[in-house]
Amino acid sequence: MGAEKKKYYLVCNSHLDPVWMWDWDEGASAALSTFYQAEKLLSESDFVFCHNEALLYEYIEEYSPAIFSAIQEQVKAGKWKIMGGWYLQPDCNLPSGESFVRQIRRGRKYFSEKFNARPTVAVNFDSFGHSVGLVQILKKTGYEGYLCCRPMSWDKDMSPLPDTEFIWRGKDGSEIKVSRVDDLTLYCSGFGTAKSDLERKAQLYKEKSVGLLLWGVGNHGGNPSRKDISDVNEMISTGKLGGEECEIKHSTPEEYFSAAKYEKVFDKSMQPCLIGCYASMSAVKQTHVKLENALFETEKICSLAYMNGLINDYPEKTFTDAERALCKFEFHDLLAGTVCRAAEESSLLLAGEALTRLKKEYDKAFFAYCEQHEKADEGEFPIFVFNGSPYKRKAVIEGEFLIPDSLVSDTRQYSLTVKQNGKIVRSQVIKEGVNINYDRRKRVIFVGELPAGDVARFDVTVKITPKKQFVKPAEIVEEDCFKTASIGRETGLLRLSFGKKTLAENAFCPVMFDDYPDPWGWGMRKIGTNPVDFGLSSCDKGIFAGLKNVNVVEDGDVVTEVEALYEQNCSFVRMDYKIYKDFPYIDVTADVLWNEKDKGLKLRIPTPLKGAFIGQIPYACDEFEKNGEEITAHRFIGVEDGENVLYVANDCAYSFSADENGLYVTLLRGVAYCAHPIGDRPLLEKDRYVPFVEDGRHTFRFRIGYCKRSEVENAVQEFVTKKDGLNYFPHGDTKERKKFEISNRAISLSACYYEDGEYVLRLFNNNSVAETARIGCGGVTAEWSFGKYEVKTVLFNGKRFEEKKVWL
């Protein structure tokens, strides 16, 4: 018998970015044209068309029902294949683990309901790299394979992948098969050049028995020409490709994955190949963090309120719409910051609408909780705050309220006392958020105990006392049971020690770098050159005129707050430090007025610690090189110190680096919209003003702290989900309420929502060692063991907990 012929599996597709150099409406228009033409070609030709992304099908269903019905018939006939099964092709580094679950959940629901389809190979052709945190998510949502194109092998700075096909192993030990198509035209072929493109692509598999050939037209939608289809079908009929006899067939990713061999193992992230984009377009990135947090926290409070009978209807439609908005917002060109200005603006409006609706549902559930408390006594101002953590904790809370009578006096003031359950707690009056020069609107910061998964109440009483003179300390040094923190009068920078161990020295210095207007960062591994430290402002011009460049603005029983004012070139930075007393962390805010182009902005955080450089990734924590190269991480980075970690939490950034001297957070890049390098051509024309993406005012929030490595995930979640307390006057009765509680702070509750008559909990161990935890609610308990970096989906029906092995 002769040798078995090589087999090539052809997957025809049409890559279509719903937003990029164009806005969403043009993306929808392109989808309508593409899908119309694809269905027409299928009706007159013999080939198979594959397409993913539920969002695009939603466009067709809404705007052209006739085309949608025709596509449904083609799917039934087997000529049109639903591919991938996600809502769209998101960025595959920046979304949280839970966001990836929602991308899959939303797509799975849609394709199941509309086409009775359930793809088992996930497809993200164009995403700029792929986090290893995806492996466990793919495996537990029922996928068998993953098909991608980037990063490309011709990028010499990339760590090589082991093969075109390999087994991808996640941080928890999960494994999934991966095929990476590595060709100049990636997922598509040229219009009218399919034959020559496929002959070139076949060379990738010359040493293999099977090959996967992607063809079709992109990047703004479109389909192969009739000539392309004729040429491809002729190749199939003659059984020749590139002069080689072979078997060629129209196919799907699933069929190829069943035939290919996957042997070599890869256990790292497929590195981001366009690293500059993870620090571009900060407004989009910060809004993404807000939308993630708002959705997941609102689901938690509404689920608990519904369980306790405090609200009659679970707001499923609001959550569905918000989930769709989140998924759209995570599209890889948008979240990466490489879209045009119109797309940025319309996308921020899209997220804003979802945030507004989520806020309304959050308030409804929150007020229902507050109303379960007794009426306030005369002269009391109750302040309530919700704790979404599944454990009791001590916290610093801030809140504002309005006293009925204004006090206009230079010698008297309103003084406040805060109580919890009748006991006085530490408190301090701080500057309110308005600037009316009388004493009426009050802002108070205090320390209280927050019960697990419940609303805590604090009662504020007011009396008039003689006005105290604010005496500012000569030296800015705070020492408590956890730490010693100081701010240098000559530098405005932070020194932080725990016990006798120095953790940071001259930290949070703003640094300006030379940069490049390309938002992708083609060819970059490091962001910026020629660093220049911002100097303390002379305070003789601009927004800082007449101020002190290092100034204590608050000092009391709860917090010492210090601001340091800097300037460089045409830009200004205000660093604000809140040094909480008897807490193992400090909150730091950077307010930036940015007026630069071709420049970048980082914060430098030197540390003498020599442990591993780590950062949060989707449902895991990764270790990175201290080589100055830019990496992507989520809500924290840190340096390990034995069983502890010095962490820097954020709700605003995704781009970081480290060297042997410390950590860097990249805040801004002075880039232009869609400034894409094309050969040696000028990146920007110099004949007119071009708007740069980051012009204007920005705020970035951080927390620097020191805790057990096993507890950093929850410590950071406390910071990211922190809300002000709200003044509310209740009229109800205090009642015992059900809530989810977890015995081990190494385990976090990343999501809690109500679906199909049960409460869905996502429980996560972000540690490299196994953990055990007891979960309880309403007298029902269960104990679970978690492997390293393991995520579990657990269902609760009010009577029992049950793990769901395949999540979706």
CA distance 755 to 303: 10
pLDDT of residue 41 exceeding 80 = yes
In the chain, DSSP finds a helix count (H) and a strand count (E) of: 13, 46
pLDDT of residue 269 exceeding 70 = yes
The residues facing 613 across adjacent strands are 624, 639
What stretch of H or E contains 404? strand 393-407
pLDDT of residue 521 exceeding 50 = yes
CA distance 206 to 398: 65
pLDDT of residue 477 exceeding 90 = yes
One-letter amino acid for residue 16 of the chain: L
- Which residue is it, tokens 């909990």? 761
Contacts of 426 by beta carbon, 8 Å cutoff, 6+ apart: 446, 447, 557, 558, 581
- Nearest Cα residue to 458 out of 403, 378, 383: 383
- Give phi and psi for 50, each to the nearest 5: -115, 135
- Looking at residue 127, what is its pLDDT? 95
- Looking at residue 259, what is its pLDDT? 97
Contacts of 740 by beta carbon, 8 Å cutoff, 6+ apart: 304, 390, 452, 453, 749, 752, 761, 775, 776, 777, 796
pLDDT of residue 455 exceeding 90 = yes
- Looking at residue 1, what is its pLDDT? 47
- Looking at residue 163, what is its pLDDT? 92
Q: Decide: helix, strand or coil at residue 70.
A: helix
Q: Which string of DSSP letters, residue by residue, matches 85-141?
A: -SSS-B-SSSS-HHHHHHHHHHHHHHHHHHH----SEEEESS-S-B-TTHHHHHHHT
Q: Tens digit of pLDDT for each residue in 388-426? A: 999 999 999 999 999 999 999 999 999 999 999 999 999
pLDDT band at 472 (very low <50, low <70, confident <90, very high): confident
Give the strand pairing for 535-536 and 529-533: unpaired
The tokens describing 115, both together, are 């086409």
pLDDT band at 248 (very low <50, low <70, confident <90, very high): very high
pLDDT of residue 770 exceeding 60 = yes
CB 478 within 8 A of CB 485: yes
Label residue 309 exposed, middle or buried (CB < 10 Å: 0-12, 13-18, 19+): exposed
CA distance 365 to 360: 9
CA distance 277 to 529: 17
What is the 3 state secondary structure string of 488-538? CCCCCCEEEEECCEEEEEEECEEEEEECCCCCCCCCCCCCCEEEEECEECC
Query: What percent of the chain clears pLDDT 70, i.e. is strictly above it?
Result: 99
Contacts of 381 by beta carbon, 8 Å cutoff, 6+ apart: 401, 403, 459, 460, 461, 462, 727
CA distance 252 to 145: 12
Q: Decide: helix, strand or coil at residue 446.
A: strand
Please give the angle made by the CA atoms of 619, 651 and 275, to the nearest 5 degrees.
Answer: 70
Query: What percent of the chain clears pLDDT 90, i.e. is strictly above it?
Result: 92
- Looking at residue 733, what is its pLDDT? 80
DSSP class of residue 72? H
Integer angstrom CA distances of residue 743 from 186, 211, 301, 389, 748: 49, 51, 20, 12, 10
Q: Where are the beta strands (DSSP E) in 625-768?
A: 631-632, 636-641, 644-650, 655-659, 662-669, 696-708, 725-727, 741-742, 747-755, 758-765
- Helices 65-77 and 97-115: crossing angle in degrees, nearest 10, is 90
pLDDT of residue 775 exceeding 50 = yes
- Give phi and psi for 733, each to the nearest 5: -125, 140
Q: Tens digit of pLDDT for each residue in 601-630? A: 999 999 999 999 999 999 999 999 999 999
Q: Tens digit of pLDDT for each residue in 541-557? A: 999 999 999 999 999 99
The tokens describing 434, both together, are 């308005």
- Give phi and psi for 728, each to the nearest 5: -145, 140
More confident residue, 763 or 680: 763
CB 94 within 8 A of CB 87: no
Please give the angle made by the CA atoms of 155, 157 and 161, to the nearest 5 degrees.
Answer: 70
Q: Is the pTM of this model over 0.95?
A: yes
pLDDT of residue 2 exceeding 70 = no
Neighbouring C-alpha atoms within 13 Å toward the C-beta of 120? 10
CB 775 within 8 A of CB 740: yes
CA distance 533 to 9: 56
- Nearest Cα residue to 525 out of 413, 627, 380, 667: 627
Label residue 43 exposed, middle or buried (CB < 10 Å: 0-12, 13-18, 19+): exposed
Q: Tens digit of pLDDT for each residue in 278-294? A: 999 999 999 999 999 99
CA distance 732 to 368: 10
pLDDT band at 3 (very low <50, low <70, confident <90, very high): low
Q: Decide: helix, strand or coil at residue 326.
A: helix
Label residue 333 exposed, middle or buried (CB < 10 Å: 0-12, 13-18, 19+): buried
CA 244 centroid distance within chain: 47
The tokens describing 87, both together, are 């809502």
pLDDT of residue 386 exceeding 50 = yes
Give the strand pairing for 145-148 and 121-124: parallel
Integer angstrom CA distances of residue 503 from 11, 182, 606, 615, 639: 54, 44, 9, 17, 10
- Determine how many CB atoms are found less than 10 A away from the CB of residue 583: 20
What is the 3 state secondary structure string of 738-787? CCCEECCCCEEEEEEEEECCEEEEEEEECCCCCEEEEEEECCEEEEEEEC
The residues facing 464 across adjacent strands are 414
Q: Which string of DSSP letters, residue by residue, matches 191-243?
A: TT-HHHHHHHHHGGGTTSSEEEEEES--SBS----HHHHHHHHHHHHHTEETT
Contacts of 617 by beta carbon, 8 Å cutoff, 6+ apart: 93, 131, 132, 133, 269, 632, 633, 634
- Looking at residue 156, what is its pLDDT? 59
pLDDT of residue 384 exceeding 60 = yes
On average, the pLDDT of the chain sits at 96
CA distance 349 to 801: 39
- Nearest Cα residue to 597 out of 483, 531, 656, 514: 514
